[in-house]
């Protein structure tokens, strides 16, 4: 249910722009996802399993979900036990569909559909002073807290792109819980209060989400693929202390230090390994973390954990022009 793990850090926007802003900012996440065909397939597979998931309240995984979310308060607010079960199933499935969207257009459609379909459920649960747009804004605010949560936590930060299943899951859930609680201040303290009145909490929502993910996304491969894409979308080559685009220009003989910012952690380039596809165009000294132009042409540069083909964090194109000889 906590689909905001796929959101990049973003400031709050005007209410009418919430869905539009989320979709616009997530374009670069999906741009990274398409560079990972295996990961994209994992997300699509989870989406397909979710679509075919039985909505019979007596079939798995719903009894486990009800054990977490079907409280006496929820039963009362949603019109009785049978009605509450049906609404919880629809609510959880449609929210999970947002998480497993495979491109920006689909994300927009799923978010708008969720808003239209579940407005009455949100009102019944939380009252007329908190609606789905408030929920979307709160999730954006929580995601905006992620850099504050992870500051200085280097091993956890790099683990997100490493493919280490256990570490990724543990890290993600801790960050999500901390970010949600940090965001629940000021205007958003109302949300935590309203959760409490129906017997829910952030931890319960995360647990319920995990129950669904375990059923439709074995090994959480789809979630991990989206996490990798999110981290990669927030990874930038640094040149002269400034974030650079995906194209790195230098002359043959020129040398650049290999510096990288990952989710605002500017020392990541010293921890990761580096590799170019064509050493006749440019070379990397992984011990000194430097890039040197060799001959006119272009080649792909990657920063990675252990395998440049599967667990890369950054990928850019090096364009080498005529002779230079400058060392930055």
Give the chain's mean pLDDT.
85
Interval 206-246: pLDDT, tens: 889 989 999 999 888 898 888 888 888 888 999 888 888 77
Interval 266-324: pLDDT, tens: 888 888 899 999 999 999 999 999 999 999 999 999 998 888 888 888 999 999 997 65
Interval 13-59: pLDDT, tens: 334 467 887 788 788 899 999 999 999 999 999 999 999 999 999 99
As a whole-number percent, the residues of the chain with pLDDT over 70 amount to 86
Coil vs helix vs strand at 277: coil
Higher per-residue confidence, 139 vs 157: 139
pLDDT bin (cut points 50, 70, 90) of residue 79 is very high
59-to-36, 93, 190 alpha-carbon distances in Å: 34, 14, 34
Quick check: 272 and 312 in contact, CB under 8 A?
no
At 326 the pLDDT is: 52
Higher per-residue confidence, 198 vs 234: 198
Show Cβ contacts of residue 287 under 8 Å, excluding neighbours closer than 6 positions.
Answer: none
The most confident of the ranges 86-95, 123-132, 186-195, 313-322 is 86-95
At 267 the pLDDT is: 82
CA distance 172 to 206: 10
At 157 the pLDDT is: 60
What is the DSSP secondary structure assignment for residue 311, as one 8-state letter? Answer: S
Higher per-residue confidence, 266 vs 254: 254
Show Cβ contacts of residue 92 under 8 Å, excluding neighbours closer than 6 positions.
Answer: 1, 65, 69, 208, 212
Q: Which domains does the chain have, with CATH numbers?
A: 3-233 (no CATH), 235-323 (2.60.40.1080)
327 pLDDT exceeds 60?
no
Least-confidence region, from 114-118, 177-181, 324-328: 324-328
Which among 226, 147, 202 has a CA at the least distance from the CA of 1?
202
Average pLDDT value for residue range 110-125 = 93
CA distance 320 to 298: 6
CA distance 172 to 186: 25
155 pLDDT exceeds 70?
no
CA distance 161 to 159: 5
143 pLDDT exceeds 60?
yes
CA distance 68 to 265: 36
As a whole-number percent, the residues of the chain with pLDDT over 90 amount to 51
- Using a cut of 0.75, tell me whether the model's pTM lies above it: yes
At 124 the pLDDT is: 96
Q: How far is CA 291 from the centre of its chain?
A: 30
Average pLDDT value for residue range 97-115 = 93
């Amino acid at each position: 249910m906590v689909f905001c793990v796929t959101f990049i850090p973003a400031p709050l926007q005007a209410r009418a722009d919430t869905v539009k802003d989320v979709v616009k900012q997530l374009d670069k996440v999906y741009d990274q996802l398409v560079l990972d065909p295996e990961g994209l397939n994992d997300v699509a597979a989870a989406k397909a399993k979710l679509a075919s998931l039985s909505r019979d309240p007596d079939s798995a995984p719903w009894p486990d979900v009800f054990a977490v979310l079907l409280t006496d308060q929820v039963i009362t607010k949603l019109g009785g036990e049978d009605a509450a079960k049906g609404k919880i199933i629809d609510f959880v499935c449609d929210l999970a569909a947002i998480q497993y969207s495979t491109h920006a257009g689909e994300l927009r459609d799923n978010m708008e559909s969720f808003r239209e379909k579940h407005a009455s459920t949100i009102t019944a649960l939380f009252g007329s002073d908190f609606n789905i747009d408030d929920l979307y804004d709160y999730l954006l605010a929580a995601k905006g807290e992620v850099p504050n949560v992870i500051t200085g936590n280097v091993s956890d930060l790099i683990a997100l792109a490493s493919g280490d299943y256990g570490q990724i899951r543990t890290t993600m859930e801790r960050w999500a819980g901390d970010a949600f609680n940090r965001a629940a201040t000021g205007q958003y303290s109302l949300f935590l209060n309203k959760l409490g009145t129906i017997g829910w909490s952030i931890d319960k929502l995360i647990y319920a989400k995990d129950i669904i993910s375990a059923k439709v996304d074995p090994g959480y491969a789809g979630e991990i693929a989206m996490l990798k894409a999110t981290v990669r979308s927030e990874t930038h080559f640094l040149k002269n202390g400034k974030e650079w685009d995906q194209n790195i220009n230098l002359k043959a003989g020129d040398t650049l230090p290999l510096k990288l910012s990952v989710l605002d952690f500017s020392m990541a380039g010293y921890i990761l390994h580096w590799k170019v596809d064509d050493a006749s165009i440019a070379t990397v000294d992984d011990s000194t973390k430097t890039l040197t132009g060799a001959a006119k042409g272009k080649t792909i540069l990657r920063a990675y954990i252990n395998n440049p083909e599967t667990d890369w964090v950054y990928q850019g194109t090096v364009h080498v022009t005529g002779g230079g000889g400058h060392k930055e």
